[in-house]
Structures are given as structure tokens and as C-alpha cells.
Amino acid sequence: MLPHTLVRRVHACDRTGAAIDARAVQDAAMGCIAAALGSARGPTGSVAAAGVCLHRSQQTYGTDTEVYHAPLEALARALPELARDGRPALADAVWAPPTSDSAAAAIGAGCIDASRMSLHLGAGCSARVVSPADASVDMQGLWQEPISGGSAVYGAGPAPAGDWVEWLARTLNLPADAEELLAARTPDCHGLSVLPWDRVDATGAGAIDGLRPGASGLDILQAGMEAVAISLSGLRERLAARFPAATEVVASGSEIDRSMLWANLLADTLGAPLSLAEEPSAPERGAAILAMVAAGMLPHIAAAPAPLGPLVRHDPGRHRLLMGAVERREAFLRRLRTEPAVQAVQYNQGH
């Protein structure tokens, strides 16, 4: 489903301009991380320059990041010492504080101040804003990660996205030209309301409302993709309520990189234009910017170039149709909240 291959050649230089082996640096840094956290908890991640970028588990869809940031703080203290003891070649390296994938991706996408909001659409989806740290911000439903220079990344989400849609695509009997067929369809033409599996209740079960005989796999997949876009639009609204100056939207993430279908769907759902991140590997670029700040090569993150990719405009007619899907979905959610239990309905061929 939505096949795409991105091949990139990465060049890395040390502070004198001499070429260095980026893979060797990454392997060494990841070895230090594994030693700091223990091999059983060794994370996946990416290293750019002296920046270490840790990835949140794709299976963790929550807003409480306290347990997530504690290892980052421990790593900030442990990595330089581990490097000196076990890898003499890194003894004089400048170590940037380890940064989460969420924070680095927002910065790497060009969202370096509070005028831009990063909408990430990958395995999960989330909305992020970089702003001066402010203790007065209402953090209900948000998360915060401090970064350099007294700033912080504020975020809403994550919520299920690409992983969940890929599961749908694998499970359904889809035609080979599914992507082309989806691009030609009218929004909400299926009449379905789909809730990803962590949206309903504590059991984590998902739900489909409006399922009827004759519904196709393409109907369900389209409804699932529109559900993700609606969810991300809701995260944007939640964050925009605290940061109204973040009027410019920048979209990034593996799903956006794979297909313009996602970008167009997201713009239509928002009812507003959005820019694509110029750099597909936004977390790596963000980690490099933070590393350059730590090494004194940049005075602050706002000094980094923040170019954007193409502008994706929305279609007002398609937006109106998707707003109808939002209303039907909200009505479905209200029924789920008020009914004591959701009963399974069996289709009787005699009626």
C-alpha cells in the first residue's frame, strides 16, 4: 500500500570540515545509549552530528511523557562519561542533550518559533509548537519538552495514524490501484465513521459505525484515512487554543513523504493551506540543529534556516463534505459515551 522508497546520501564533517564516518559515530552513540539504559531497553534512534534523537515507542499513544523524559535526563549525564571510558575517539566530542524524536522533528520541519505549527503524520500523528517555556500555559491534554535557550516544544497527541492505516490496508482485500482509486473518490462517500482502536474506551477497541452490506474494503480504508486526518485536525485545534499565533501549518512525517494523497486529505480536512517540510528526514535535521546550538555553531535554534517545501491548498467543497463526516463521528462518539454497552448487530439476510 502506497509504496515509496527514499534513498538519501548523508555527508558528515567534524568541526574542522574534515569528513567523518557518520555511521561509525551513530553506532558508537547508540552503543552508549544502550549501555546507559541497559541492553533490554536499548532504543532506536538517529544521530546527526553530535545530536542524539530518541524515538518514542510507536505503541505508546498517550500524553503523559514524564517516564519518557526521565531516561533522556539520565542519558544527558551518562553519555559523555560512557564515551570517554569506552570509546576514546569520542573523548573530546561535544555532546548535545539527547532530544526526543517529537521535539527534533518539529525543529527539523522548520517550526522554530511560535508562528508555525508542525503536524506530524507517521506511525502516529501529533501537533507541535516551539515556543518560549511558559509556566502559565494550560497543559491539560498537552505535553511539553524543554529544549535549548529557554524554549520548549509543546505537543498534542500522539494518536494512531500510519501504523493503524497500514494494518487496515493489509487486512482488507484491496485492488492493486487502491491509491489511484482513493485519489479519485469524493470525501465521505462511504457513509462510515471509523474510530481507531485506542479511541473508544479503556479496552482499546476500535469501532466502525454505518457498516452495511455492499461496503467495500476501499470504503473502510478511505474512512480510516479520513479518521486519522480528522483526529490530527482536532489535535491542531487543541494546540492552537493555547498558541493562537501558530497560524502557519507545516506537515511532515513518513506518511506525508510517501504520498501526496495524505497531504491533500489533511489540507482539505483542515480547510486551510499547509506547507510540506522541505527536509524529509526532519528528526535528523532537528537533531543536527540542536547539536550545532550545543556546540556554539548557532546562537539559538531560531538562527537556523527554516525553508519550507511546496504549499498544498485545500478544496472548500471537499472540506464541507469532511465537516459532515466530523459531525457524524461526533454523534457516534456521543452514543458510545451514553450507552451502557455497544451491542454487536448481526445482519439478518431476511430483512
pLDDT digits (tens, 9 = 90+) for 74-84: 555 566 666 56
**Residue 296: pLDDT band by 50, 70, 90 thresholds?**
confident
pLDDT of the residue at 262: 95
Share of the chain above pLDDT 90, in %: 35
pLDDT, one tens digit per residue, over 316-347 is: 999 999 999 999 999 998 888 886 444 433 33
**Residue 54: pLDDT band by 50, 70, 90 thresholds?**
very low
The answer on pLDDT for 52 being more than 50 is no
Residue bearing the bigger pLDDT, 181 or 42: 181
pTM of the predicted model, to two decimals? Answer: 0.74
**Residue 50: pLDDT band by 50, 70, 90 thresholds?**
very low
Q: What is the 3-state secondary structure (H, E, C) of the chain?
A: CCCCCCCCCCCCECCCCCECCHHHHHHHHHHHHHHHHCHHHCCCEEEECCEEEECCCCCCCCCCCHHHHHHHHHHHHHHHHHHHHHCHHHCCCCCCCCEEHHHHHHHHCCCCCCCEEEEEECCEEEEEEEEECCCCCCCCCCEEEECHHHEEEEEEEEEECHHHHHHHHHHCCCCCCHHHHHHHCCCCCCCCEEECCCCCCCCCCCEEECCCCCCCHHHHHHHHHHHHHHHHHHHHHHHHCCCCCCCEEEEECHHHHHCHHHHHHHHHHHCCCEEEECCCCHHHHHHHHHHHHHCCCCCCHHHCCCCEEEEECCCHHHHHHHHHHHHHHHHHHHHHHHCCCCCCCCCCCCC
The answer on pLDDT for 51 being more than 60 is no
Least confident of 219-233, 275-289, 298-312: 275-289
Q: What average pLDDT does this structure show over 131-147?
A: 89
pLDDT, one tens digit per residue, over 93-112 is: 666 667 778 888 899 899 98
Least confident of 2-6, 202-206, 316-320: 2-6
Residue bearing the bigger pLDDT, 11 or 236: 236
